[in-house]
């Protein structure tokens, strides 16, 4: 089907994808904007996965201080080249992630960074709680997995819903930028400061 320039522009504004990519996605989705967004998101994830093994040697240190100067964040966001590190899209991503950290207080960047003893303790609590329901074991396992995913979404940065668009996880936000810039991008480390927090 023929896709209007107006529809292509609308999709570009929503996704930041290139004109031809938007046009192809809209044609594939028969002009359905939401479906075209999903197609672009899936393509972005595949591109990001292909680049995920590439070495990260460059990046930026981003600082963000929330209004009122009570909360501050330092973030190291890595990429492959100095060229991308200086790119405005990359800089904007770093700032958005730093704002996310300030607002949502993640403890770790990814699931893999959660210490095993912390994970074991949480799982034991979830299992104990689910067992009290008296439901069959197979259902209890699903309940535990569901609670674990919710827990990850609260405490692991890349699993959190993006504060500016909650249909998008931080992981997907990074993947979309990887697809756009053509380089592997990774959260190296971060530190969140809040007045009076962590003091004796």
Domain boundaries, the chain: 5-51, 58-110+156-194, 115-154
Please check whether residue 7 is in contact with residue 23, taking contact to mean a CB–CB distance below 8 angstroms. no
Put simply, whether the predicted model's pTM sits higher than 0.85 gets the answer no
| pLDDT tens readout for residues 151-164 | 999 999 999 999 99
Q: Is the predicted pLDDT of residue 127 greater than 80, yes or no?
A: yes
Q: State the pLDDT at residue 173.
A: 94
Please check whether residue 189 is in contact with residue 94, taking contact to mean a CB–CB distance below 8 angstroms. no
- Distance between CA atoms of 88 and 123, rounded to whole angstroms? 41
pLDDT band, residue 128 (cuts 50/70/90) = confident
Q: State the pLDDT at residue 1.
A: 63
* pLDDT-above-70 percentage for the chain: 90
Taking residues 25-39, what's their average pLDDT? 80
- Mind giving me the DSSP string for 122-138? HHHHHHHHHHTTT--HH
Q: Do domains 5-51 and 58-110+156-194 have the same CATH topology?
A: no
Residue 170, classified by CB atoms within 10 Å of its CB into exposed (0-12), middle (13-18) or buried (19+), is buried
Q: State the pLDDT at residue 38.
A: 77
Q: State the pLDDT at residue 47.
A: 57
Q: Is the predicted pLDDT of residue 102 greater than 90, yes or no?
A: yes
- Distance between CA atoms of 158 and 163, rounded to whole angstroms? 12
Q: Is the predicted pLDDT of residue 45 greater than 60, yes or no?
A: no
**31 token code pair:** 């002009």
pLDDT band, residue 3 (cuts 50/70/90) = confident
Q: State the pLDDT at residue 133.
A: 78
Q: What is the DSSP letter of 3?
A: -
* pLDDT-above-90 percentage for the chain: 55
Q: Is the predicted pLDDT of residue 52 greater than 90, yes or no?
A: no
What CATH fold (topology level) applies to the domain 58-110+156-194?
Tetrahydropterin Synthase; Chain A (3.30.479)
What CATH fold (topology level) applies to the domain 5-51?
Helicase, Ruva Protein; domain 3 (1.10.8)
The 3-state DSSP composition of the chain as helix, strand, coil percent (nearest 5) reads 55, 20, 25
Q: Is the predicted pLDDT of residue 4 greater than 90, yes or no?
A: no
């Amino acid at each position: 089907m023929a896709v209007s320039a107006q529809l292509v522009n609308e999709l570009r504004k929503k996704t930041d994808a290139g004109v031809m990519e938007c046009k192809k996605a809209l044609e594939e989705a028969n002009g359905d904007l939401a479906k075209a967004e999903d197609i672009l998101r899936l393509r972005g994830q595949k591109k990001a996965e292909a680049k995920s093994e590439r070495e990260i040697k460059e990046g930026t240190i981003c600082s963000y201080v929330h209004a009122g100067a009570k909360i501050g964040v330092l973030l190291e966001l890595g990429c492959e080249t100095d060229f991308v590190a200086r790119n405005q899209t990359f800089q904007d991503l770093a700032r958005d992630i730093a704002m996310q950290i300030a607002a949502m207080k993640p403890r770790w960047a990814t699931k893999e960074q959660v210490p095993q003893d912390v994970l074991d303790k949480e799982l034991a609590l979830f299992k104990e709680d689910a067992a009290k329901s008296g439901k069959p074991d197979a259902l209890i396992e699903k309940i535990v997995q569901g609670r674990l995913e919710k827990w990850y979404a609260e405490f692991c940065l890349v699993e959190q819903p993006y504060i500016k668009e909650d249909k998008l996880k931080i992981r997907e936000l990074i993947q979309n930028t990887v697809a756009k810039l053509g380089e592997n991008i990774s959260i190296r480390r971060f530190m969140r400061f809040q007045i009076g927090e962590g003091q004796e």
